[in-house]
């Protein structure tokens, strides 16, 4: 006996609909960006003129995950010209840092590189502090 579905078109539609409901690949990183970075760098990464850089202008740093990890972890000292500094994010764990770095890279880097938690651990160990 052959099994037939009562509503083949409806079944196909539902399968396609459910398959299309996958979350954005770096949605957790986006949540972290909104919480930790968006206040200064804005929702679209545009920054605040000369005070806070546009993330598109940081493509070299964003394309190098090791530099980006250290920048996020250690922050930046006060810029003599603007008087602004980027605060350190010492509370981000390795998983959060992985998600944030992958999100930033996918959104703003010229040549994004995907990182995993073990990469982040090595990168954090290599960060210099002043």
* Nearest Cα to Cα of residue 119 among 91, 98, 96, 92: 98
Q: pTM for this structure?
A: 0.77
* Nearest Cα to Cα of residue 33 among 22, 44, 49: 44
pLDDT in the model for residue 123: 95
* Ramachandran area for residue 49 (φ above 0: left; ψ -120 to 50: alpha; else beta): left
| pLDDT tens column, 23-63 | 677 899 999 999 999 999 999 999 888 788 888 867 667 88
* Ramachandran area for residue 36 (φ above 0: left; ψ -120 to 50: alpha; else beta): alpha
């Amino acid at each position: 006996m052959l099994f037939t579905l009562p509503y083949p078109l409806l079944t196909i539609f539902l399968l396609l609909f459910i398959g299309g409901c996958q979350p954005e690949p770096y949605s957790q990183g986006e949540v972290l960006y909104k919480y930790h970075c968006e206040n200064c760098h804005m929702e679209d990464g545009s920054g605040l003129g000369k005070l806070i850089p546009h993330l598109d202008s940081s493509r070299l740093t964003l394309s190098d995950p090791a530099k980006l990890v250290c920048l996020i972890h250690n922050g930046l000292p006060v810029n003599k010209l603007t008087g602004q500094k980027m605060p350190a994010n010492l509370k981000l764990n390795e998983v959060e840092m992985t998600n944030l770095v992958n999100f930033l890279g996918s959104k703003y880097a010229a040549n994004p590189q995907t990182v995993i938690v073990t990469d982040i651990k090595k990168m954090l160990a290599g960060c210099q502090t002043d």
